[in-house]
Amino acid sequence: MSAPHKLVILDRDGVINHDSESYIRSADEWQPIDGSLNAIAQLNQAGYRVVVATNQSGVGRGLFSMATLNQIHAKMHLEAEAVGARIDAIFCCTHAPEDGCACRKPKPGLLEMIVKRFGIDPTAAPVVGDARRDLEAGAALHFPVHLVLTGKGRATLSTCSSADALPDHAKVHENLAAFVLDFLSSLQTE
């Protein structure tokens, strides 16, 4: 039997790329946060596969098409590759909130799919997000959860009285690059 995959799961908007209240509706609007793609490359170099789990209700709301979402992700892959980074898979919930699906975060459906596809132990795979729903989805399956303060992260943290009020005592990081530095440093001290 092969060894389980070493995996890190990232939310997309607000973690890898700049977010927008009116949604990222085109490849042109998709802009990486400084240092995020290099941080993914560092995870890859340390032997980690990177998977994205993202709510993209703009498709379900009719704001953009699946073809446009695919173009956005093609741009993300190309820009990642340009700095030596690789995103192994993207799991998307394209449902609108009123659809009542099991995959829209904070429900854990997307993460359940990732566990099944990659055969991972959730307790060994960090989930990184900028919103409480990302953390709640991860905590529901006992993933270690991490909040970054980019995107909606600062607002998410300000709605809690302290980091201890976040699901499963989430760890808080300035951005994805800071998470990667902390995460890889913690592995060296184990």
Q: For the chain, which residues make up each domain, given as ranges?
A: 7-189
Q: Is 34 a catalytic residue?
A: no
Question: How do the pLDDT tens digits run along the chain, 190 residues long?
Answer: 455 679 999 999 999 999 999 999 999 999 999 999 999 999 999 999 999 999 999 999 999 999 999 999 999 999 999 999 999 999 999 999 999 999 999 999 999 999 999 999 999 999 999 999 999 999 999 999 999 999 999 999 988 765 556 776 789 999 999 999 999 999 887 6
Please pick, among 11, 19, 130, 134, the residue that the annotation labels catalytic. Answer: 11
pTM over 0.85: yes
Among candidate residues 65, 3, 42, 25, the one with its CA nearest the CA of residue 187: 42
Q: Between 3.40.50.970, 3.40.605.10, 3.40.50.1000, 3.40.50.1220, what CATH number should domain 7-189 receive?
A: 3.40.50.1000
What is the predicted pLDDT for the residue at 3?
Answer: 57
Q: Burial code of 44-56, b = ≥16 C-beta within 10 A, e = fewer?
A: beeebbbbbbbbb
Q: Known catalytic residue: 13?
A: yes
In the chain, the amino acid numbered 37 is L
Out of 13, 19, 130, 134, the active site residue is 13
